[in-house]
Chains A and B, each alone.
Chain A
């Protein structure tokens, strides 16, 4: 079945460490997105990519980095510069014809 796979589902990190969240899709979608979700704040866009080897900052990109070396993959690195990284992270993908985004199951990151 086609879909978006995020891994791991739960992730723990010590302060000062970088950590990478995985996102893979087999929907053949061109665009991919990373959102951060905090209680009561909805979803906020971190980064998005419309095509391989290209990506743009969203509303809250500081402390995060991404790469898009393959159409299917869009990993997100949470760096030590992110002051409050504990959150639920959602990856999504879309095509311009369909417009709506398809979401993965999310990764919950906790800084300990």
Chain B
């Protein structure tokens, strides 16, 4: 079955420290991959997406993600975290273009301490 796994439920980092959020997927073929961010009580905002090509993807707010086919991973990174990055982050995947069903991970809640 298709699945997206985010192994870390909560992560706490200090402001200014680097961040890596993990995401693993299980699909028959390489899926389209996404990272979304959600502030409390709000909708989801797209940070970045990967369809094909360069495996290092740049997104908004200084985030990037690297697709690693051999590890079935799509980890999200940021070199220096700001207090405003505290939110919940969701990794998602779908089987391709068109109206493919999107599968979401269970989310990683990021806490930033001063």
Contact = CB atoms under 8 A, between A and B. Distances in A.
B9 A42 contact: no
Contacts of A105: 42-43
B55 to A, nearest CB: 18
Contact of A106 (B32, B42, B94): B42
Contact of B41 (A94, A103, A106): A106
Would you call the interface of chain B mostly helix, strand, loop, or mixed? loop
Given A40-B9, A96-B97, A101 B102 contact: yes
Interface in B53-108: 90, 94, 97-102, 104-107
A1 interface: no
A42 B99 contact: no
A100 B106 contact: no
5 contacts: A31-B99, A35-B104, A43-B44, A99-B49, A108-B41
